[in-house]
Amino acid sequence: MFSSATAYKNQHYSELKSACIKDKKLFEDPEFPATNSSLYFRRAPPGVVRWKRPGEISGSPRLFVEGISAHDLNQGIVGNCWFVAACSCLALKPNLWKKVIPDWKEQEWDPKHPENYAGIFHFQFWIFGEWIDVVVDDRLPTINGELIYCHSKDNNEFWSALLEKAYAKLSACYESLEGGNTGDAVVDFSGAVAEAISLEKEAYYKDQKKQDQLFEDLLKVYDRGGIISCSIKADPHEIEMKLRNGLVKGHAYSVTAVKKVRLGHGLIAYFKNETIPLIRMRNPWGKTEWNGPWSDTSEEWSKVGDTERGNLGITVEDDGEFWMSFADWCKHFTDADVCRLINTSVISVHKTWHEVVHFGSWTKQSEPLLNRCGGCTNHKQTFLQNPQYVFDVTKEVDEVLISLQQKDMKIHRKYGQGENLTIGFSVFRVELNRKYRMHDILTQQNVETSTYINARTVFLRCNLPQGRYVIFPTTFKPLVLGDYMLRVFTDVDSDCRELTVDKPRVRCWSSFLGYPQVVTHVYVHNAEGLENQDSSGGADPYVIISCEGCSVRSTIKPDTLQPQFTTSGVFYRKKPRKPIYVEVWNSNAVKDQFMGQVVLSGSVKDSTEPQRLKLRKQGRQMADEMPGTITLRIVTSTQLTAI
């Protein structure tokens, strides 16, 4: 996941620090100056802002005080609880924060060698598929001597304030951080894959089975180092409104634990083994907690033994961290962001994934057929002009994770822009031998479609049967331009690649060997009544479709005489009068056995509806030797150019 970082604005930390130490001066960042332009673009902070270095705020400044903790952080006056919640999550993951805060020991204040301090720090963020190293000076905005944005509970601890300044620099100013998504910040801290879950829309609190499955999923994410956050949807006038139950609407909470808590005391608890699903959260304010069941002073904790309570670290104080039952969490919260740290390591005790990453753009050309911004499937005239990516599922069934991410737009907020595009994608099952762009969706199966939303990332998790698939990443409307990153995760290599060519290329020898005149799509659906060739009473059939020297072979269907095939092939035919063969074979450990075939001779007519065709044995009379039938659908197109 981690790689060497690229210097933002070509500012190299080590070179700048060395120059400052040599010149015996403190660093002043020309790319993010201590001026109002770095603070806001629309609404000024409520007071006179003075930029101060940590040494002017505290007599003994430190990067960390007694290590890094989720309890360190408090939100400032800007509405960036989403960022503070992400920082709380980050503090729980040493392997992550040590990447985001590189050289943290070297960056720490050294009272014994004050001459080595140059007022410069650097942080690293995963931005659009690349680690970026961001340099900042240590001048921080204050009002009446107090930090006005994100800060630590200890007034001499500055890691969170400096980290926020580096993140604000990426977004052009502090005000650009007002309003955001915790999952996006977590992705920027880790390179994780973010999944947005609507607890309200899916109504998990009404369906115990769905609720139990969600808890198991979140428990697995948490145990494998993932990061989870949540919030309660709010209308504009309800932002950060406190409810009677202690929760705050329009406010981001970081999830700090997901546990099955053992109920009972002593040996009885051990042998009874009764558990309840609980979830722990932290309010970025550092105060204001849930006051319902399983809150700090709730009587429910009397059901839990002292040892178990000690392991959970229960504290009775208003520190912003609290427990809830998972059922109450599903009922009271409306949205959650689940960020999976995808394991692509070859050596691991946990599940590993094969990842493919593609970068692309929705672009407009002078020739409409060359556009790559066709909009969603609602726009049938232009949809096929979108970028197309083909991948293979080689297992019988495989779980596939697909993430579509657009560039962060916050940097444009100060210029009156900065809103996310509404994006999503569709997944089609296609012919096993497809290697050119799709020009017709009527004959293809749309197996999955993501939600379309103006979020930075759209995520889909699905189980797909063996076959070949094409992903269409799109904007919701046509002719909307932008850049995207597509990430596809499968259990084994999917050979995911972009389809860029519309049809077979004309070669220098094409005039001698011929050029395709017709495109024919052959779909085999199932077979029935096959001759029994196994002594056990069944067969292990598979299908081969062949045409002009090219062929497509299905998977083997074990022990059946009525196999259900979903096999298809696309053929670019130079000689349309030549036949297409559909053969059924029985897989045998020693030698494959031929079971029958359909020969489609001459010009094949379109058949949009499945047709039952009789198989015949090779060399036998058609009239009386019928081993069975097979369902076929044939679609012929003479158009070889893009639609």
Q: Which residues are catalytic?
A: 81, 251, 283
Strand order in the sheet with 611-614: 564-573, 518-528, 629-637, 611-614
d(CA 520, CA 602): 12
d(CA 33, CA 77): 20
d(CA 47, CA 36): 12
Q: Is 323 exposed, middle or buried (0-12, 13-18, 19+ CB in 10 A)?
A: buried
Under DSSP, the state recorded for 282 is E
Strands in 242-352 per DSSP E: 252-262, 275-282, 321-325, 335-340
**Rounded to 5°, angle at Cα 566 from 563 and 570:** 135
d(CA 33, CA 174): 12
**Which residues have C-beta within 8 Å of that of residue 124, sequence separation ≥ 6?**
5, 99, 100, 102, 131, 132, 133, 134
Secondary element (H or E) of residue 596: strand 593-600
Contact of 399 with 441, CB cutoff 8 Å: no
At what angle are helices 159-170 and 81-91 packed, to 10 degrees? 130
d(CA 315, CA 293): 15
Contact of 390 with 499, CB cutoff 8 Å: yes
Contact of 183 with 120, CB cutoff 8 Å: no
- Phi, psi angles (nearest 5°) of residue 115: -70, -15
Dig out the tokens for 124 from the structure.
């690293």
Residues in the chain: 643
Contact of 555 with 396, CB cutoff 8 Å: yes
Distances (CA, A) of 3 to 89, 129, 255, 481, 586: 22, 10, 27, 29, 50
Contact of 7 with 166, CB cutoff 8 Å: no
Secondary element (H or E) of residue 473: strand 457-475
Distance of CA 545 to the CA centre of its chain: 37
d(CA 178, CA 195): 22
Distance of CA 66 to the CA centre of its chain: 34
Helix (H, G, I), strand (E, B) or coil at 118: coil
Contact of 179 with 418, CB cutoff 8 Å: no
Residue 569 CA neighbour count, 13 Å, CB half: 18
- Phi, psi angles (nearest 5°) of residue 370: -95, 0
Secondary element (H or E) of residue 133: strand 130-137
Closest CA to 572 of 630, 642, 514, 631: 514
Name 13's bridge partners.
none
Helix locations, 514-597, DSSP H = none
